[in-house]
């Protein structure tokens, strides 16, 4: 691997690269020889300082490009391998950058496209810390946020004003799982010259392709399914050409970078994403269908169920469902606490996307729209355990009520 190497496209083993199926991309992407040195996986390249042969050599490395050793903040082959793999999974995207967490990626993407005086259109079912960013730092820097109904679809056009700069989507919505009509929202936003952002953490690019749907900045909390083993914090933003330069320049001045050890773990996780997600889907659906027949379960909030708001968009646009969904308990908050506290196989904890099952009480916050679910929400992450064991655990829990 030279200090000066070209950017991504088509360098692997001297072949002409062609678009392969996603399952093959998960195995092959980012494994070019100059980064792996012929070993199956790249090493963990840790670096701050990179040494140059001469002043001229140093000058030649500017401005830094991805794929060129320059300084640790600009990445090393471990980072570039993951970036290249994530870009390849998003046809139409130009590049990917990594951040120290999913929340860091959300902040890095928004700060790249917004400026004082702008208005941001934000889905009302957004992840809590993203809402908190809008109401704190963005507000302090003169950006106003207007929240919209997740089911707005092409009606987003009516909300776009002179100051509107960007539309942020998260589909399905945090805790309540409404699926958005992402292509329609992007088309309406594009017609008015807006930038579009999507938090695609639930589906991953394996089950939903953001750039192909018109998204400029596709954000992942790699902490979740990409890592897949509950042992790292990492975020990514995959950008189209139109916004790539702004994303990179903002990342650089904000000093956003990721640890090569975490990128290495995420790269390992990525190789098995397909088999893991398929099992999360299968187990999740089995548990969800069982729950649906239980007298103490009032409703399922799961994109694959026909009564989920936006289910038709999930059917049209997604290649699968993952293991995260909620149900509405027929009971009060105290009953919910008793149910959750008594479960044995579902751990109580933040995050999700690891191999293990988790449960949390979910209390969605909305400010622009109302959703009365008629009871408290329980959010499950269904892991890779035998689903019959998970069902037995839930059955005992519901029986205790």
Ligand X SMILES: *Cc1c(COP(=O)(O)O)cnc(C)c1O
155-182 residues labelled b (16+ CB within 10 A) or e (exposed) = ebeebbeeebbbbbbbbbbbbbbbbbbb
The least distance separating ligand X from the CB of residue 365, rounded to whole angstroms, comes to: 14
Looking at beta carbons, which residue is closest to ligand X?
102
* Ramachandran category for residue 92: left, alpha or beta (phi over 0 → left; psi -120 to 50 → alpha): left
Among 74, 76, 101, 125, binds ligand X (CB under 6 A): 101
Element (H, E) at 112: helix 102-113
Question: DSSP characters for 196-243?
Answer: EEEE-TTTHHHH--TGGGT-SEEEEETTTTTT-SS----EEEEE-HHH
Task: Please give the distance of CA 118 from its chain centroid, rounded to a whole number.
Answer: 25
CB-nearer residue toward ligand X: 351 or 369: 351
- Beta strands 358-362 and 347-348 are parallel
The least distance separating ligand X from the CB of residue 57, rounded to whole angstroms, comes to: 37
Judged by CB under 6 A, does residue 273 bind ligand X? no
Task: Please give the distance of CA 234 from its chain centroid, rounded to a whole number.
Answer: 10
Active site residue 224: yes
Query: For the window 307-346, what string marks contact with ligand X as x by the rule CB under 6 A?
Result: ----------------------------------------
CB-nearer residue toward ligand X: 36 or 351: 351
3-state secondary structure of 375: coil
Count of residues near ligand X by CB under 6 A: 15
Structure tokens at 398: 């519901």
Query: For the window 188-227, what string marks contact with ligand X as x by the rule CB under 6 A?
Result: -----------x-x-------------------x-xx---
Question: DSSP characters for 134-189?
Answer: IIIIIHHTT-EEEEE-TT-GGGGGGG--TTEEEEEEESSPTTT-PPP-HHHHHHHH
Among 25, 76, 103, 240, binds ligand X (CB under 6 A): 103
Instruction: Tell me which residues in 121-160 interact with ligand X (CB under 6 A).
Output: 127
Active site residue 249: no
Judged by CB under 6 A, does residue 108 bind ligand X? no
Catalytic annotation, pick one of 149, 199, 216, 262: 199
The least distance separating ligand X from the CB of residue 158, rounded to whole angstroms, comes to: 26
Query: For the window 162-191, what string marks contact with ligand X as x by the rule CB under 6 A?
Result: --------x---x-----------------
Judged by CB under 6 A, does residue 266 bind ligand X? no
Judged by CB under 6 A, does residue 78 bind ligand X? no
What gap in Å lies between CA 275 and CA 397, rounded to an integer? 29
Beta partners for 96? 238
Catalytic annotation, pick one of 131, 209, 224, 276: 224
Judged by CB under 6 A, does residue 283 bind ligand X? no
CB-nearer residue toward ligand X: 68 or 125: 125
**What is the 8-class DSSP label of residue 16?**
P
Active site residue 292: no
CB-nearer residue toward ligand X: 68 or 250: 250
CB-nearer residue toward ligand X: 219 or 297: 219
Residue with tokens 């408290």: 376
Judged by CB under 6 A, does residue 357 bind ligand X? no
- Contact by Cβ (8 Å): 186, 317: no
Task: Catalog residues that contact ligand X under the rule CB under 6 A.
Answer: 101-103, 106, 127, 170, 174, 199, 201, 221, 223-224, 233, 235, 351
Enzyme catalytic residues: 73, 127, 199, 224
């Amino acid at each position: 691997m030279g200090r000066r190497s070209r950017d991504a496209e088509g360098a692997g083993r001297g072949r002409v690269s062609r678009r392969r199926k996603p399952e093959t991309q998960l195995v092959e992407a980012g494994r070019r020889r100059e980064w792996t040195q012929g070993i199956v996986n790249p090493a963990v390249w840790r670096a701050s300082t990179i040494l140059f042969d001469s002043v001229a050599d140093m000058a030649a490395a500017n401005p830094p490009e991805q794929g060129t050793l320059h300084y640790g903040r600009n990445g090393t082959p471990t980072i570039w391998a993951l970036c290249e793999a994530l870009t390849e999974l998003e046809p139409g995207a130009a590049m990917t950058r990594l951040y120290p967490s999913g929340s860091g990626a959300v902040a890095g993407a928004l700060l790249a496209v917004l400026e004082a005086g702008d208005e941001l259109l934000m889905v009302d079912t957004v992840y809590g810390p993203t809402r908190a960013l809008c109401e704190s730092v963005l507000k302090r820097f003169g950006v106003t946020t207007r929240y919209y109904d997740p089911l707005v679809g092409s009606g987003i056009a009516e909300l776009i004003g002179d100051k509107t700069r960007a539309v942020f989507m998260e589909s399905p919505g945090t805790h309540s799982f409404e699926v958005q009509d992402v292509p329609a929202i992007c088309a309406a936003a594009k017609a008015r010259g807006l930038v579009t952002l999507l938090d695609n953490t639930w589906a991953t690019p394996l089950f939903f392709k953001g750039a192909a749907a018109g998204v400029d900045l596709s954000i992942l909390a790699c902490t979740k399914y990409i890592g897949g083993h509950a042992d790292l914090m990492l975020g990514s933003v995959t950008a189209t050409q139109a916004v790539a330069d702004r994303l990179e320049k903002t990342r650089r001045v904000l000093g956003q970078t990721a640890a090569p050890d975490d990128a290495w773990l995420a790269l390992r996780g990525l190789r098995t994403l397909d088999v893991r997600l398929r099992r999360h889907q299968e187990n999740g659906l089995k548990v969800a269908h069982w729950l649906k027949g239980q007298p103490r379960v009032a409703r399922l909030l799961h994109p694959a169920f026909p009564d989920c708001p936006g289910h038709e968009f999930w059917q049209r646009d997604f290649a699968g469902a993952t293991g995260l969904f909620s149900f509405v308990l027929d009971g009060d908050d105290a009953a919910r606490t008793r149910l959750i506290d008594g479960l044995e196989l579902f751990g109580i904890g933040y995050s999700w996307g690891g191999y293990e099952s988790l449960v949390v009480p979910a209390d969605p916050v909305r400010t622009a729209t109302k959703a009365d679910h008629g009871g408290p929400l329980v959010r499950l992450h269904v892991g890779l355990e035998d689903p019959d064991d998970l069902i037995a655990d839930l059955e005992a829990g519901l029986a205790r009520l």
